[in-house]
């Protein structure tokens, strides 16, 4: 059963990765990238690497891809004045998708059982990893700060470019 689940997740990962590379619309490519990162996190969870799955979701999905989506929406006219008329079929489709999602959550949480407690190794705890990453000596504090400044600079640059194209002052 776990082999079948792994093959299904691996197939989904390949499909979403190919979509992220080959879709011509940037917004759709970013959404496919988010889906591929979620599938990667699911594979990590299946392999009992919860920390990597959490890091995958928080860093890549929560940070980098959402940042890319903001940049895409700021620099292109994707999010501007394109309201589709609300029809009964669209409302029914939205309600059906919401019910399907809610049903999936109920089934997933209904079958979930907490994992058995494992032996803990204090040298490999989340606290130890956090202290090691953010240590001032031989840590990665400078790298984290440089990346945050780089991302902030890219965001400000995208806003300036988007405003200049529309003839507004930044």
Per-residue pLDDT at 67? 77
Per-residue pLDDT at 10? 93
Q: Are 67 and 151 in contact (CB under 8 A)?
A: yes
Phi, psi dihedral angles at 152 (to 5 degrees)? -65, -40
For the segment 155-167, the average pLDDT, to the nearest whole number, is 69
Q: Are 53 and 44 in contact (CB under 8 A)?
A: yes
Give helix 2-22 / helix 26-46 axis angle, nearest 10°: 160
**How far apart (Å, rounded) are the C-alpha atoms in residues 36 and 53?**
12
Sequence-ordered strand ranges (E) for 31-166: none
Per-residue pLDDT at 119? 62
**How far apart (Å, rounded) are the C-alpha atoms in residues 166 and 160?**
10
Per-residue pLDDT at 83? 63
Per-residue pLDDT at 146? 80
| 118 has a pLDDT exceeding 70 | no
Which residues, in sequence order, are CB contacts of 122 under 8 Å at separation 6+? 128
1-63 in CATH: which number? 1.20.120.1200
The pTM of the full predicted model, rounded to 2 decimals, is: 0.50
**How far apart (Å, rounded) are the C-alpha atoms in residues 84 and 120?**
54
Q: Are 157 and 74 in contact (CB under 8 A)?
A: no
First to last CA, the chain: 56
């Amino acid at each position: 059963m776990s082999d079948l689940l792994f093959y299904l997740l691996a197939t989904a990962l390949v499909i979403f990765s190919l979509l992220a590379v080959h879709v011509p619309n940037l917004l759709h490519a970013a959404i496919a990238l988010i889906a591929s990162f979620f599938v990667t996190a699911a594979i990590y969870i299946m392999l009992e690497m919860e920390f990597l799955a959490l890091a995958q979701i928080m860093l890549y999905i929560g940070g980098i891809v959402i940042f890319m989506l903001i940049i895409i929406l700021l620099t292109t006219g994707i999010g501007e004045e394109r309201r589709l008329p609300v029809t009964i079929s669209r409302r029914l489709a939205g309600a059906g998708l919401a019910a399907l999602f809610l049903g999936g959550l109920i089934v997933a949480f209904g079958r979930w059982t907490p994992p058995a407690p494992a032996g803990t190794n204090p040298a490999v705890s989340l606290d130890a990893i956090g202290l090691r990453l953010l240590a001032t000596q031989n840590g990665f504090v400078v790298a984290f700060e440089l990346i945050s400044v780089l991302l902030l600079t890219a965001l400000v640059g995208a806003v300036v470019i988007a405003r200049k194209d529309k003839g507004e002052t930044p």
